[in-house]
Structure formats: structure tokens, C-alpha cells
């Protein structure tokens, strides 16, 4: 076949026209796999999600404002935040000295630190609390397994039963409160404040931080009672609030004492904000410009110190162990001794209706004062007859 006779099997084109480029054969692109796992639930007609579905997020979608960040730093009770930060700091120091990573830590590190606390001879309840704070500091999804540590702690509890005995604060009962009130010079601002705090603290069965957190707006004084509103408490973390009414009585005189303190605050220019405040020796408001984050609010520790100082001045039994919690334990014990039981006792102290604390602690304490029930059994007297004692 000549060149002229050669047939080309090709598409005819006009002069100057280009043929489309031939695409080389390529491997087929695999279809994206559906994003499903064992927790996926699909409804009739619904297709599983695939990579690329949904919105495309930018960097801005992952940032929060400084206000939100500050609120996150304030979450939880102040004393819990303090305990968590201090315990985590000690854990981090121990890890640094041991050449271990603190956050996120391994199960071995978590277990070994727990045993480090055990070797120090701390109470099992304290160790458990500290380790829980450390666990909460670990990022979710990367937390260590606490099972082994808990087994070691359980062994420690069994081997050291006496070391786990709880020491309870001195219960400051009515007689003790009256003695402490007697140390308050109510002609001086500090004495007026302390008298109001003691009579109010006994009347509301308050925890120390609850007293420290009270504001002027939370208190209403009438001719017959002091009405105290607690926005939140340990057993009211959702801050639904609770109102406690302190009926006036001629011994504690809560109405007169709280009214005197509120009048003094107004004279000092205070009409709202923290109720119990720091005072100078001269009786003026103490400057709080360099105070902690609590500002004009007293700390729970400061309330504790006021109660401890008054207890020592009054010379009440156990004054060296007295704390503000005694103003909660004391009236609860007094009510139990007066026959108050069950829900009435729980609700007055703002415990949950089913809490066993008042019954097992304070009721038992009051019953112990009544003497040993075994002593109520009459002394044994052997039967006698005209022939003398029956010795059979």
C-alpha cells in the first residue's frame, strides 16, 4: 500500500482545529467511606455522613471570649478551686522531681502518686479527696484508670482502721455561744459585728462560707425575726436559694444585734454588698484595694478566725479546736437533745431529707449525754430465802 492509499482511522477536522487532549487512564478514585460507628443511629431514608459533609469551621469557631474564660476560671466553689489548684500544684512538683508527665498523666503515675500519699500516712479520706482533685485536672478522654489505686487505698483502709477516724469540730452549743457573746464589747464596731455574726450563725446553722458570702440585701430584720436568704449552699449547687427565719429570743437577741450591725454599716456608708466585713482596730472599714479576688467579702478562713478567737476568750471547753462549723454543729446537737428528729431536723439545717448526717452524728451526740443506756438496768440482787442466798 502506497502512502497515498494509506487510510487513517481518525476524526476529520478543519484546518487549524485542535483535537481534544487524550486523558490517560487513571486509577478510579475510591468513594469516601461513611462516617459511622457502633453508636450511629440512622432513620429511614437518612444517609450516613461522609467526609466533607457539614459546615467548614474557621479558627474563630474554636475561641471563646475573655469573659467566658474568666467565668470558667470561677466555676465551682472557691474553696474547691483553691484545694484543686494547690493539690494539682503539689502533684506537678512531684512529677517534675520524678521525671514524669503530670498532665495528662499515665495510670502508673497516678497510682504511684496515690501510694506516695499513702506512705506519708495521710488519712484515707484525705487521700481519696486529693486524688479526685488530681483526676479532675486531667483532660477528658485522656484520664488514667483509677482502679488499681482504689484497690491499694482499700487495702490501706483495712490495714489502718484507727488512722481513718474522723475528728469532728467542737460543737458550740447555746451555753458556749452565750459565753462568747459575753466577750463582745458591743460599744465597739468589732464587738457589734462579732455579736451579730455569732447570734446569726447559731440561728441559721450556717457553714462558714455561707456566712462569709452573705450580702446586706440577703437580710431582713423585723420586730420579731431575722430573715436570711441564702442564694446557694453546699447542698444547693443549682442556686435555687433557701430562706431561714431566726425567731427573736431574749438570750441570743438576734433582732437587736443584727439591727445594730446594719445600722453601723449604714453609718459607714455601706447599704449593699458583703454583710460581714473586715474592720480596723479603730472600727473603720479595712481597705480592700489589695485584697484577693473576694474583694470586700471575708474569706471562710476569716470567719473561722473570728469564731476561734471568741471561743478562746470565752474559755469554752475545746476552744483550741473550735471552728465556725461549731455554730452549725452546736444548734443541731441542741435541737437533737430537745427531741427534734427526722425531716424537721434535716430541713432546719438544710440537709437533704434523706441525709443520715444529723441522725448519726448529732442525735447520737445528744443521746450520749443522757448516759449509757446499760446503766438503766437495775443492779443484780440474788434471790434470797429464809435459808440464805440461793446458790443453785
Instruction: Return per-residue pLDDT of the chain as tens, 392 residues.
Output: 444 444 444 445 455 555 454 555 555 556 667 778 888 888 998 888 887 777 777 888 888 888 888 777 666 555 555 566 788 999 999 999 999 999 999 999 999 999 999 999 888 988 999 999 999 999 989 999 999 999 999 999 998 876 666 666 789 999 999 999 999 999 999 999 999 999 999 999 988 999 999 999 999 999 999 999 998 766 655 667 889 999 999 999 999 999 999 999 999 999 999 999 999 999 999 987 655 667 889 989 999 999 999 999 999 988 988 999 999 999 999 998 898 988 899 899 888 888 888 888 877 777 777 777 777 788 888 887 665 555 55
CA 87 from centre of chain: 15
Residue 196's closest CA among 80, 100, 79, 303? 303
Distance of alpha carbon 205 from alpha carbon 198, whole angstroms: 10
What is the per-residue pLDDT across 191-235, written as a single tens digit (0 to 9) for each? 999 999 999 999 999 889 999 999 999 999 999 999 999 987 666
Write out pLDDT tens, residues 8-60: 444 454 555 554 545 555 555 566 677 788 888 889 988 888 877 777 778 88
pLDDT score of 10: 45
Give dist(CA 149, CA 107) in Å, integer. Answer: 9
CA distances from 336 to 132, 180, 271, 310, 350 (A): 34, 22, 38, 25, 15
Separation between Cα atoms, residue 262 and residue 258, nearest integer Å: 6
Q: Which set of grid coordinates corresponds to residue 98? A: 520524678
3-state secondary structure of 74: helix
CB-based contact 219:227 (threshold 8 Å)? yes
Residue 11: predicted pLDDT? 47
What does each C-alpha distance from 202 to 54, 94, 114, 171, 316 come to in angstroms?
59, 42, 39, 11, 16
φ/ψ of 47, rounded to 5, equals -95, 145
Q: How far apart, in whole angstroms, are the C-alpha atoms of residue 194 and residue 187? A: 12
CA nearest to 261, candidates 302, 294, 228, 230: 228
Closest CA to 288 of 299, 304, 303: 299
Alpha-carbon span 265 to 276, nearest angstrom: 9
The predicted structure's pLDDT at residue 4: 46
The DSSP output letter for 153 is H
Closest by CA to 296, choosing from 263, 265, 257, is 265
Q: b/e for 25-46, b at 16 or more Cβ within 10 A? A: eeeeeeeeeeeeeeeeeeeeee
Chain position carrying cell 443541731: 332
Alpha carbons 94 and 116: distance in angstroms, whole number: 9
Residue 245's contacts (CB-CB under 8 Å, 6 or more residues apart) are 225, 226, 227, 228
Of 295, 247, 270, the C-alpha closest to 193 is: 270
Read off the DSSP letter of residue 361. I
Region of 46 on the Ramachandran plot (φ > 0 left; ψ -120 to 50 alpha; else beta): beta
pLDDT value at position 287?
81
Q: Residue 382 has what pLDDT?
A: 85
Question: What is the structure's pLDDT at 3?
Answer: 46
Q: Could you say which DSSP state residue 215 is in?
A: B
Cα 30 to Cα 26, 27, 99, 215, 260, distances in angstroms: 12, 9, 47, 67, 83
Residue 259: helix, strand or coil by DSSP?
Answer: helix
Q: CA separation (Å) from 111 to 80, 128, 149, 367, 383? A: 23, 12, 5, 42, 66
Instruction: Please tell me the distance from the alpha carbon of residue 368 to that of residue 362, in angstroms, as a whole number.
Output: 10
d(C-alpha 379, C-alpha 123), whole Å: 43
β strands within the chain, DSSP E:
219-221, 225-230, 242-247, 384-385, 388-389
Amino acid at each position: 500500500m502506497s502512502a497515498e492509499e494509506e487510510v487513517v482511522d481518525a476524526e476529520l477536522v478543519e484546518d487549524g482545529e485542535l483535537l481534544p487532549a487524550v486523558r490517560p487512564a487513571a486509577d478510579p478514585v475510591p468513594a469516601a467511606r461513611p462516617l459511622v460507628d457502633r453508636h450511629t443511629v440512622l432513620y429511614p431514608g437518612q444517609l450516613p455522613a461522609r467526609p466533607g459533609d457539614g459546615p467548614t469551621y474557621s479558627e474563630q469557631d474554636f475561641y471563646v471570649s475573655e469573659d467566658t474564660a474568666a467565668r470558667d476560671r470561677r466555676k465551682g466553689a472557691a474553696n474547691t478551686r483553691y484545694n484543686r489548684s494547690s493539690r494539682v500544684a503539689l502533684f506537678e512538683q512531684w512529677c517534675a522531681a520524678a521525671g514524669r508527665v503530670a498532665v495528662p498523666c499515665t495510670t502508673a503515675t497516678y497510682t504511684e502518686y496515690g501510694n506516695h500519699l499513702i506512705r506519708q500516712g495521710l488519712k484515707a479520706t484525705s487521700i481519696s479527696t486529693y486524688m479526685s482533685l488530681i483526676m479532675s485536672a486531667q483532660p477528658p478522654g485522656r484520664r488514667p484508670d483509677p482502679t488499681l489505686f482504689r484497690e491499694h487505698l482499700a487495702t490501706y483502709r483495712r490495714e489502718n482502721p484507727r488512722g481513718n477516724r474522723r475528728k469532728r469540730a467542737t460543737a458550740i452549743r447555746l451555753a458556749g455561744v452565750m459565753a462568747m457573746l459575753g466577750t463582745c464589747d458591743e460599744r465597739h464596731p468589732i464587738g457589734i459585728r462579732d455579736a451579730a455574726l455569732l447570734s446569726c450563725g447559731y440561728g441559721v446553722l450556717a457553714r462558714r462560707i455561707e456566712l462569709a458570702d452573705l450580702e446586706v440585701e440577703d437580710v431582713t430584720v423585723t420586730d420579731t425575726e431575722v430573715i436570711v436568704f441564702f442564694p446557694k449552699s453546699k447542698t444547693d449547687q443549682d442556686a435555687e436559694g433557701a430562706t431561714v427565719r431566726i425567731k427573736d429570743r431574749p438570750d441570743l437577741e438576734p433582732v437587736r444585734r443584727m439591727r445594730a450591725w446594719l445600722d453601723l454599716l449604714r453609718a459607714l456608708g455601706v447599704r449593699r454588698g458583703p454583710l460581714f466585713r473586715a474592720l480596723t482596730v479603730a472600727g473603720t472599714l479595712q481597705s480592700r484595694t489589695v485584697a484577693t479576688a473576694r474583694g470586700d467579702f471575708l474569706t471562710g478562713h476569716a470567719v473561722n478566725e473570728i469564731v476561734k478567737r471568741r471561743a478562746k476568750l470565752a474559755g469554752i471547753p475545746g476552744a483550741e479546736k473550735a471552728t465556725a462549723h461549731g455554730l452549725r454543729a452546736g444548734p443541731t446537737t441542741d435541737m437533737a437533745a430537745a427531741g427534734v428528729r427526722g425531716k424537721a431536723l434535716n430541713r432546719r439545717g438544710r440537709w437533704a431529707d434523706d441525709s443520715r448526717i444529723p441522725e448519726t452524728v448529732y442525735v447520737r451526740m445528744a443521746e450520749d449525754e443522757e448516759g449509757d443506756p446499760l446503766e438503766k438496768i437495775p443492779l443484780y440482787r440474788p434471790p434470797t430465802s429464809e435459808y440464805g442466798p440461793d446458790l443453785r
